[in-house]
């Protein structure tokens, strides 16, 4: 089981991010929102993933960075829920939609729930 989350797994393409927010579909599991879309021009099935914590909701950079670190770690540990039966490439963006700080356990529960919802679609 591959638990890496390296450069090749990160969502960095401006074109792809723009496409994601224009054409993407979304799922919610409080306090997370998943926006996703398919990637057409890739050879093998892969997952490009980004995380976002709005400055409007979480004011201090220290708290925003901590939440983003936790989100990346929880996704890294649980991405097998999606990658095991992946047939096409997808771009994911996880957006934190709460004003409150969160524990690792609550974030993990929410992430697992949203990844299962995605797998069921």
- Residue 74: Cβ within 10 Å count: 22
Q: What is the Cα–Cα distance from 72 to 109, expressed in whole angstroms?
A: 14
Characterize 54-68 residue by residue with b for buried, 16 or more Cβ atoms within 10 angstroms of its Cβ, and e for exposed.
eeebbeeeeebeebb
pLDDT tens-digit series, residues 9-59: 899 999 999 999 999 999 999 999 999 999 987 777 889 999 999 999 999
What pLDDT score does 61 carry?
A: 97
The CATH topology of domain 7-120 is Ribosomal Protein S5; domain 2 (3.30.230)
**Domain coordinates in residue numbering, the chain:** 7-120
Please determine, for residue 77, whether its predicted confidence score (pLDDT) is greater than 80: yes
What pLDDT score does 121 carry?
A: 81
pTM exceeds 0.85 for this model:
yes
Mean pLDDT value of segment 108-120: 95
């Amino acid at each position: 089981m591959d638990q890496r989350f390296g450069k090749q797994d990160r969502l960095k393409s401006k074109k792809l991010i723009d496409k994601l927010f224009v054409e993407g579909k979304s799922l919610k599991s409080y306090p997370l929102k998943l926006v996703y879309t398919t990637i057409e021009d890739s050879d093998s099935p892969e997952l490009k993933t980004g995380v976002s914590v709005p400055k409007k909701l979480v004011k201090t950079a220290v708290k925003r960075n901590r939440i983003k670190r936790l989100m990346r770690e929880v996704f890294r540990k649980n991405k097998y829920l999606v990658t095991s039966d992946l047939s096409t490439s997808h771009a994911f963006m996880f957006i934190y939609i709460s004003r409150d700080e969160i524990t690792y356990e609550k974030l993990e529960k929410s992430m697992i729930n949203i990844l299962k919802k995605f797998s069921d679609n």
